[in-house]
Structures are given as structure tokens and as C-alpha cells.
Amino acid sequence: MIGLLVVTAVPAEAEAVRAGVSDPTVTVVPVGVGPAVAGAATARLLALAEAAGRPYRGVVSAGVAGGFAGPVEVGGTVLGTHAVAADLGAESPDGFIPVDELGMPAELLGAGRSIAADPHLLAALGTALPAATVGPVLTVSTVTGTVAGTTELRRRHPDAVAEAMEGYGVAVAAAQATVPFVELRTVSNPVGPRDRDAWRLREALAALTKAAAALG
């Protein structure tokens, strides 16, 4: 049977997902931190599965995330409508310029800076997780840790519900392989000034196990 590929950044997240999944066709793999390594590793896993004649029916980027205060609280679950490359672009005296506004030819932009989740996967998970907060999830290479940084992100992405480090890379790999993609996150901390003492990783991982039951 052909199932889902679920990729996480670190082993603790993978273990939390595995603890909640009962479907033996769901494969869970920790692939590393950040969009580059996550994208490369996911692309390799998809290519190997396709070469073996057993392509995955979907890819889920799963794990913990920072949540924007208001849309989602610590311990809450998030479903990403879009994976957004929030820091892909250029600085300028007038502020940040997103990559798709730099005047490059469209063919050089690839998937652009925002990749939509597969509507069928998103709808299925939304039905199984009715309490989840649904909205764009930002992918960053540097986690936001200041009030100024948080304010700027909220200004540029007012609908964003969470921030993580792998979703966009995984989404690009899935798009290149024409495999459906969705992002599932649980919130361990608010986006804002970095305060490790305020993180609730244990609670977020427990919530991830509970949410992972929706994957099968």
C-alpha cells in the first residue's frame, strides 16, 4: 500500500508523530533543520520512492512551531494553507523586498515564495482536526527573536498563524515531484523575544502526537 511521507526536523518530533499514527503505510522521517536540508532530503526520499515504483500519495511537513499571538495559543494545532518563504528576498533602504518583487524573470522564481497546500489533504486534516487554526505558515532560516522582527513579519504577513523552519523547503520538493503537500504544526512558543524558559516543548510534542492521529 502507498501511504503518506511525514517529514520532521528532529527525531523528537518524529517520535511524537509515530506515537500518534496507527496506519503502517505512513512513513515518518526526521530530515534536519532548515529549508535547504529539509527540501533536499525530502526530494531524495520522493525520488527513491518513485524509482521503486511506490510513490507517496502525499507529503506532510510536521513538527513544532512558534505561533503568532492571537490566532493560536501555545499548545494549539496549526494547519498551513500556504508555506511561505518569509525571508527570501532582499533588504533595501525602504525595507524588505520579497523575491518575486525583485524584477527577476518568472522562470527564475521556480515555485515563487508561497506554495499552497493541497486542498484535499488540507480539507481532510481540517475535518479530522476541527479545532486547528488554519492559515499561512511562514518558513524562516533565522527564527524571529525580537519585538521589532515580530512586528515586521506581522506587517508583511498579517494572516500568518505560525513560523517554522522547514515547510517551504518540503513544499518545493513536493511541488517538483508533483506530490500533494500540507503542513501540520503544534505551537511550543509565541513568536517574539527569545525566551527558552517560556517554551512548552513537552506540551507541543504531546499535542503533535494527538494531532498525528489524523494522518492515519
Query: Beta-strand (E) ranges in the chain?
Result: 4-8, 27-30, 58-67, 77-85, 89-90, 97-98, 114-116, 133-139, 162-164, 181-190
What CATH number is associated with residue 122? 3.40.50.1580
Top-confidence range, 24-38, 83-97, 107-121, 194-208: 24-38
> Nearest to residue 210, comparing CAs of 12, 76, 120?
76
pLDDT mean across residues, the chain: 90
Span of 78-87, 90-99, 123-132, 186-195 with lowest mean pLDDT: 90-99
Reduced 3-state DSSP string for 1-18:
CCCEEEEECCHHHHHHHH
Minimum mean pLDDT range among 71-75, 94-98, 188-192: 94-98
Q: How many domains does the chain have?
A: 1
- Domain that residue 88 falls in: 4-215
pTM higher than the cut 0.85 = yes
The span from the CA of 60 to the CA of 180, in Å, is 9
H helix or E strand, kind and range, residue 161:
none
141 three-class SS: coil
User: What values do phi and psi take at 142, rounded to 5?
Assistant: -125, 115
Cell of 190: 509565541
The residue ranking higher by pLDDT, 51 or 113, is: 51
Q: How many helices (H) and strands (E) does the chain have?
A: 6, 10
Q: Where are the beta strands (DSSP E) in 9-127?
A: 27-30, 58-67, 77-85, 89-90, 97-98, 114-116
Residue pair 152/138 in contact (Cβ under 8 Å)? The answer is no
